[in-house]
Amino acid sequence: MQRVVGIEQWRRLAEDQRGAGRRIGLVATMGALHRGHQSLIAAARANGDYVIMTIFVNPRQFNDPTDLRAYPRTPEADRALAESMGVDALVEPVMAEMWPAYPDPTPTTVSVAGLGDVLEGAGRPGHFDGVASVVAKLAIVTGPSRAYFGEKDFQQLAVVRRMVLDLGLDVEVVGCPIVRDDDGLALSSRNVRLGPESRLRALSLSRALGLAGDLDGPASAMRAAMRATMEAAGVVVGYAEVVDPATLRALDDDAVGRARALVAGVVDGVRLIDNREVELRRGP
Q: 172-183: per-residue pLDDT in tens?
A: 999 999 999 999
* Best CA proximity match to 176, nearest among 20, 42, 59: 42
User: Is 37 tagged catalytic?
Assistant: yes
Please give the CATH topology (third level) of the domain spanning 189-280: Pantoate--beta-alanine Ligase; Chain: A,domain 2 (3.30.1300)
pLDDT computed for residue 20 by the predictor: 98
Residue 186 DSSP code: B
The arithmetic mean of pLDDT across residues 127-135, rounded, is 98
The class of domain 2-176 in CATH terms is alpha beta
Domain boundaries, the chain: 2-176, 189-280
What secondary structure does DSSP assign to 131-173, as a single string? HHHHHHHHHHHH-SEEEEEEGGGHHHHHHHHHHHHHHT-SEEE
Give the side-chain half-sphere CA count within 13 A for 214: 8
Mind listing the pLDDT tens digit for each residue in 3-14? Answer: 999 999 999 999
**Which residue in 215, 213, 149 sits closest to 179, CA to CA?**
149
For the chain, what is the largest distance between any 2 Cα atoms, rounded to a whole number of angstroms? 61
pLDDT at 284 over 80: no
Q: How far is Cα 83 from Cα 126, in angstroms, rounded to an integer?
A: 33
pLDDT at 149 over 90: yes
Beta-strand pair 236-243/257-267: antiparallel
Of the residues 37, 124, 146, 227, only one is catalytic, namely 37
| Mean pLDDT across 203-207 | 98
pLDDT of 282 reads 78
pLDDT for 83 beyond 90 = yes
Is residue 144 within 8 A of residue 170, CB to CB? The reply is yes
Higher pLDDT, 189 or 280: 280
Q: What is the pLDDT of residue 283?
A: 64
Tell me: the pLDDT tens digits for 225-267? 999 999 999 999 999 999 999 999 999 999 999 999 999 999 9
Q: Indicate the pLDDT class of residue 46, thresholds 50, 70 and 90.
A: very high
Contacts of 44 by beta carbon, 8 Å cutoff, 6+ apart: 25, 27, 51, 146, 148
